[in-house]
């Protein structure tokens, strides 16, 4: 995302621009776009419902197509004014104030190859199996245009399928950014189609490892409840019966071990809904440890595990959800052979397990 400064003949907040402004017709929500030279600005009158919100949060909701990170960076680059004055991302807004926001430049849809190390578990002339590290986004999306798995793949491999479009070369299925583990990538369109059919027909066996932030009493069970879009948080999913966005979802889990109020579990999702395992485990009162969206905490310290407030035990052990795609089994589209690939548990999860096993 470009962070250009305003042109010299534009003085934001003064009410005088020195150049001709052209604006779109005012919308019903008191929002309009104004072009000043090569820059596009969005003028917004703050509604009553937004009183007390941070300006970066409000603009993230008001400006589709941009992440909160992009919005924050634009504000920090003096890209927003409130009643004519530049502000910080944290400033609170009030009803009827006027925001002028410089719209960030669009990011190219093309995948940019980047020399990023990959842990390749298997490769042949038709497909690649990778152990994705935590923190890596699978394909470019708003707020995450670089450092993606597709960028790493595009740099390393000469040919990848283009069935998924220019931003998703080779991508047959996805893992959440902070979920580590096995993911299969198609080199050719034929392989891509065959693998996609196996996923759609539920012929692919997926096994995950998770640590939950609560004790699960049942040794094993099936969670079979539909999942749909959260009613008011756009980045979350939720259990939703009889809703337009709801889809059937089924997850089998089996307890590996219990440690105080924490549980290690083996999870086999039968379907592949967005955030399925995270939502289902949260539904039974055992959200995944360190799941920012569904468990309400974004890091795990030693003190949290031991239940003490000793400052010496505040060492951070984990900063992402404790979820790992451990195994993936599918039929090779060319040979017809059933193949199973396994990714070892990463170091951050092993640190947590080591501490959990020391609990009484």
pTM: 0.70
Which of these, 348, 338, 179, 193, lies nearest to 269 by C-alpha position?
179
* The token pair that represents 275 in the structure block: 């955030």
Per residue in 11-21, pLDDT (tens digit) is 222 233 223 33
* The token pair that represents 190 in the structure block: 């034929």
User: How far apart are alpha carbons 248 and 198 in whole angstroms?
Assistant: 18
Domains and CATH numbers, the chain: 21-102 (3.10.290.10), 107-201 (3.30.2350.10), 203-360 (3.30.2350.10)
Per residue in 31-84, pLDDT (tens digit) is 677 777 677 888 999 998 889 999 988 887 787 666 677 788 889 989 999 999
Please pick, among 176, 178, 291, 348, the residue that the annotation labels catalytic.
176
Q: Is 100 within 8 Å of 12 (Cβ atoms)?
A: yes
Mean local confidence (pLDDT), 170-198: 95
To the query of whether residue 119 is one of the catalytic residues in this protein, the response is no
User: How far apart are alpha carbons 123 and 146 in whole angstroms?
Assistant: 24
Reported in sequence order, the residue ranges of 92-147 that DSSP labels E, i.e. its strands, are: 98-102, 120-123, 127-132
Q: Is 71 within 8 Å of 59 (Cβ atoms)?
A: yes
Q: Is 120 within 8 Å of 128 (Cβ atoms)?
A: yes
Higher model confidence: residue 214 or residue 146?
Answer: 214
Based on DSSP, count helices (H) and strands (E) in the chain, helices before strands: 7, 19
Above 70 in pLDDT, residue 339?
yes
Chain position carrying tokens 């020399």: 115
Above 50 in pLDDT, residue 9?
no
Per residue in 280-327, pLDDT (tens digit) is 999 999 999 999 999 999 999 998 898 876 655 578 999 999 999 999
Crossing angle between the packed helical segments 55-62 and 68-76, to the nearest 10 degrees? 130
pLDDT value, residue 143: 58
Which of these, 234, 242, 229, 235, lies nearest to 273 by C-alpha position?
229
For the chain, the 3-state helix, strand and coil shares in percent, each to the nearest 5, are 20, 30, 50
Above 50 in pLDDT, residue 196?
yes
Reported in sequence order, the residue ranges of the chain that DSSP labels E, i.e. its strands, are: 21-23, 31-36, 39-45, 80-82, 85-86, 98-102, 120-123, 127-132, 180-186, 205-212, 220-224, 227-229, 237-239, 250-259, 262-269, 300-301, 316-318, 323-331, 338-342
Neighbours of 133 (CB within 10 A): 16
Q: Name the band, by pLDDT with cuts 50, 70 and 90, for residue 166.
A: confident
Per residue in 238-282, pLDDT (tens digit) is 999 989 999 999 999 999 999 999 999 999 999 999 999 999 999
């Amino acid at each position: 995302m470009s962070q250009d400064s305003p042109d010299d003949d534009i003085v934001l907040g003064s009410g005088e621009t020195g150049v001709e402004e052209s604006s779109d017709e005012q919308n019903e929500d008191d929002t309009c776009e104004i072009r000043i030279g090569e820059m596009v600005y969005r003028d917004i009158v703050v509604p009553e419902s937004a009183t007390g919100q941070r300006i970066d949060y409000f603009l993230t909701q008001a400006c589709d197509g941009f992440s909160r990170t992009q919005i924050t960076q634009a504000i920090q680059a003096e890209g927003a004014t409130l009643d004519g004055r530049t502000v910080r991302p944290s400033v609170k807004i009030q009803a009827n104030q006027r925001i002028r926001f410089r719209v960030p430049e669009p990011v190219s849809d093309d995948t940019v190859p980047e020399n990023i190390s990959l842990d390749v578990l298997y490769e042949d002339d038709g497909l690649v199996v990778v152990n994705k590290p935590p923190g890596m986004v699978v394909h470019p999306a708003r707020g995450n245009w670089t450092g993606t798995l597709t960028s790493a793949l595009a740099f390393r491999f000469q040919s990848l399928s283009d069935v998924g479009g220019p931003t998703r070369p080779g991508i047959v299925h996805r893992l959440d950014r902070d979920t580590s583990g096995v993911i299969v990538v198609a080199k050719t369109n034929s392989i891509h189609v065959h693998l996609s059919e196996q996923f759609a027909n539920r012929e692919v066996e997926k096994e995950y490892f998770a640590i939950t932030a609560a004790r699960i009493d049942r040794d094993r069970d099936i969670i079979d409840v539909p999942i749909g879009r959260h009613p008011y948080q756009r980045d979350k999913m939720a259990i939703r019966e009889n809703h337009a966005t709801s889809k059937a979802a089924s997850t089998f889990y089996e307890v590996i071990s219990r440690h105080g109020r924490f549980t290690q579990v083996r999870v086999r999702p039968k379907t592949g809904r967005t955030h399925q395992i995270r939502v289902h485990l949260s539904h039974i009162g055992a959200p995944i440890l360190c799941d920012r969206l569904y468990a309400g905490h974004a890091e795990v310290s030693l003190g949290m595990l031991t239940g003490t407030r000793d400052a010496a035990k505040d060492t951070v052990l984990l900063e992402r959800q404790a979820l790992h795609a451990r195994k993936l089994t599918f039929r090779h589209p060319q040979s017809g052979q059933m193949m199973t690939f396994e990714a070892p548990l990463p170091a951050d999860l092993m640190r947590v397990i080591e501490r959990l096993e020391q609990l009484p």
